Structure 1
Amino acid sequence: MFKFRHLAILLSCALATNSFAMNIQPDPNNPSGYVIPRADIEAAERAKTADPMYDTWAKALETLPNQQVEAILPGLASNPSNVIRAERVFPETEWIYLTQMAASEYTYTRFLRAIGKFPAFCGEYTDGRDSDAICKRSIVTSFAHFAQETGGHIAIDNTWDNPKGLEEWQQALVHVREMGWSEGQPGYTTGCGQNDWQNKRWPCAEGQGYFGRGAKQLSYHFNYGAFSEVMFDGDATVLLNNPGLVADSWLNLASATWFFLTPQSPKPAMLHVIDRTWKPSQRETEAGIGYGFGTTINIINGGIECGEQNKDKGQPVNRIRYWEGLSDYYQISIQPDEKNTCWQQKPYGSLNLNGATDVLYTNWEGDWTYHADRPGGVSFECKLVGYQTAYSALVKGDYEKCVTNFYESHANWPNVRVVEQLGPVDPPIVPEPPVGGNYPAWNINTEYTGGEKVTYNGASYEAKWWSQGNDPSKGDPWKLISDTPVNPVPPVEPEPPFNPEPPVEPLPPTGATQWIAGQRNVNNGDKVTNIGKCFIAKNNPGVWDTPTSTNWFWDEVSCK
């Protein structure tokens, strides 16, 4: 647990590696906390997400209010512009052509609403790119994956099960729920109920099942919760409490559209592969990852379907067949630098991105970099990482939540509160030096963390970082915070008692001599005196075998 020394002054801390300052002040409402102005938090976030791609990603995830979405119907002039484009390049007749086996829960109206929720899907490009062509390619790519994820997979010559003789790429959206599962069955609850940040942000509901639902088979509570936040203004509980909506409403297709638009760092969003907003990094290029349908397979399921070992595997072979059938039917042009396959690609999950400088990450994590000029050496910042955390760089307000440890995902993080404006700064308070130190005594066997205080030889010390067995008076990892070290005072020898006359040494008993160690040998039977007692030698004692009691060399006897 961090224990910080409170400084009653304003700390202006500027990192040499950043272009922003952090003003950190003790929290007047919490003796163990700190306050930071919101302007500083926002400046830090802007500095870390300055690459224009972050704005592009965030823009792609902007949504229309559900009330407007649910007013969308085929053919309405009031429909959003991206919906009108989708209707133009993919009219209802084409929907019917590709969904003759589809479950009744999938309808063209719901398809248009799923598109309308996300204005970037089939959106307008103002930089010369062909908006209609990108829209058509996006829809056809989606259907190729629908045909694999929820399709019928019935051969064209199987007239019993496929009396219409439909191509397999015409058999999309047959399943609305994962096969073998039905509403009311709890399942896919791995991780539910644990005391971790995922359950704090996306708590599982009692008795609910988070098995696959919808066109992309959304699964597991953390995906239901994240999708719910997008669909219901940040409220994760709507779909966690009622996951069946992903099967029985227009969310069954909206969940697939959301997946299509969402990057999963370091994976790009599928849209940005198709519209070429994404530029492959050097590591991706070296791994064979570039433009084309094959990269969308890698994004969806690369660990199982991509790489040389999966060249002939059923799932990727099916997807490629469906894409090639659809792209041929809809006359989608394939560029020379595109590949439909991903067997020549390294799966994203096995890419080594250590040291890569041209890969952008999309999640925030507490930054544990040591800052000597900030309280307790803590950064009070978050950094971008390439794995899922409680906080997304694409969600407004998540950086602030990361800094304040909103979901308690950073162990031992300081208590931080963000304020609009810092209050007046009190003058420094010089504490009275404690007498002999007012903190626990330092113990050589105790582990100390940065910020903990101890007393040693009458002085008070504060640990700069983790320490065990380091003498505080020797400096690092300790610093003196009050008093001058007090060295132990040697004990004072008592003065001898006053005797007006010198003591009279008694004469040794008759027949006994005074023992003087190291000066003479004695023979067995010799009688000596020592410490006021008499002893008879035995077993040939040496000159250093001083008699003090009966033992191997001496027997104590009467001095008479």
Structure 2
Amino acid sequence: MLQVAMTSKVAGFVTTLFMMVMMMVPKTVSAENIDRIVTQQFFDMIINQADGDCPGKNFYSRDAFLKAHNSYHRFGNMNTEDDSKREVAAAFAHFTHETGHFCYIEEIGGASRDYCDESNIEFPCAPNKGYYGRGPIQLSWNFNYGPAGQNIGFDGLNAPQTVANDPVVSFKTALWYWMEFVRPVMNQGFGATIRAINGYLECNQGNPETVNARVYYYTQYCSQLGVAPGDNLTC
């Protein structure tokens, strides 16, 4: 009986120790739980600030975002719950700024601008096609449309307009760009994400007003998601 009692005590101790260790492990957010961060209320809070006649009002939707997320399930799934929320806040801050609260699908006046890098022989520009900003992150240039299309599954070079015609593809381009170029610098602070998206125009006092606008959206979304924004907010 003494041996049984001792075995029971050891088992209880091991169970308690295991539970304590598990409580110390940082929480993660699984891909299936992204909808718990990007709630309908969170999405509506952004898009409802756009004017009623904005083209994006009938284009962008939370449902389209979630469908796109199925292809990029690592987005919003970082090491800890707080880091995951910060990533969502950062991405949607940039989406908000780039599209005017999901108002614009295409860059204003973009069709009149030349976004063809003729030196890029891997992703050459197609005749009479414009690679100006489209989608939540305003994807631009042939060297982005080409690989984005390959990764997502549409002809980015010959049919760049797909990004402005298909809301799921549109969100996929934003998530593709984010995972390729922005996620790797998330650990350096929000300022590094600005540099990764539009740093050559905005950082180093290039355009402090737009930097401040991005930071404002980010800190607001962090507050709404209940997470501290962290350090190094500007670039």
Please indicate the TM-score interval, normalised by the length of the shorter structure. Answer: 0.7 to 0.9
Structure 2: which amino acid aligns with 1:340?
A: L
How far off its partner does 1:186 sit? 7.8
- Equivalences for 1:187-202 in 2 at 5 Å? 188=114, 190-192=116-118, 198-199=120-121, 201-202=122-123
Q: Which has the higher strand share?
A: 1
Q: Which residue of 1 aligns with 2:18?
A: none
How far off its partner does 1:189 sit? 5.1
Q: Which residue of 2 aligns with 1:326?
A: 221
**1:296 alignment partner, one of 193, 217, 220:** 193
Q: CA RMSD in A?
A: 2.3
Moved over 4 A (4+): none
Q: Which runs of 5+ in 1 are unaligned?
A: 1-80, 152-171, 264-269, 277-290, 343-560
- Equivalences for 1:67-82 in 2 at 5 Å? 82=31
Q: Which residue of 1 aligns with 2:92?
A: 143
Query: Structure 2 CA distance, aligned partners of 1:178 and 1:340?
Result: 26
Query: Structure 1 CA distance, aligned partners of 2:43 and 2:140?
Result: 25
Q: Which residue of 2 aligns with 1:208?
A: 129
Given that residues 187 and 208 in structure 1 are in contact (C-alpha distance below 8 angstroms), is that contact kept between their aligned partners in structure 2? no
Given that residues 144 and 326 in structure 1 are in contact (C-alpha distance below 8 angstroms), is that contact kept between their aligned partners in structure 2? yes
Q: Which has the higher helix share?
A: 2
**1:117 alignment partner, one of 71, 96, 113:** 71
Query: Structure 2 CA distance, aligned partners of 1:242 and 1:111?
Result: 21
How far off its partner does 1:315 sit? 1.0
How far off its partner does 1:108 sit? 1.3
**2:170 alignment partner, one of 241, 252, 260:** 252
Given that residues 224 and 239 in structure 1 are in contact (C-alpha distance below 8 angstroms), is that contact kept between their aligned partners in structure 2? yes
Query: Structure 2 CA distance, aligned partners of 1:187 and 1:299?
Result: 21
Q: 1:189 to 1:137 in 2, by over 3 A?
A: closer
How far off its partner does 1:228 sit? 1.0
Q: 1:97 to 1:189 in 2, by over 3 A?
A: closer
Given that residues 218 and 229 in structure 2 are in contact (C-alpha distance below 8 angstroms), is that contact kept between their aligned partners in structure 1? no
Query: Structure 2 CA distance, aligned partners of 1:189 and 1:293?
Result: 27
Q: Which residue of 2 aligns with 1:339?
A: 232
Q: 1:262 to 1:315 in 2, by over 3 A?
A: same
Q: Which residue of 2 aligns with 1:88?
A: 36
Query: Structure 1 CA distance, aligned partners of 2:109 and 2:229?
Result: 38
Q: Which residue of 2 aligns with 1:478?
A: none
Query: Structure 2 CA distance, aligned partners of 1:292 and 1:180?
Result: 32
* Identical-residue share of aligned pairs (%): 28
Q: Which residue of 2 aligns with 1:173?
A: 102
Q: Which has the larger radius of gyration?
A: 1
Q: Which runs of 5+ in 2 are unaligned?
A: 1-29, 51-55
**TM-score of the two chains, using structure 1 as the length reference:** 0.33
Higher RCO structure (Cα 8 Å, ≥6 apart) = 2
**2:45 alignment partner, one of 80, 97, 102:** 97
Given that residues 117 and 143 in structure 2 are in contact (C-alpha distance below 8 angstroms), is that contact kept between their aligned partners in structure 1? no
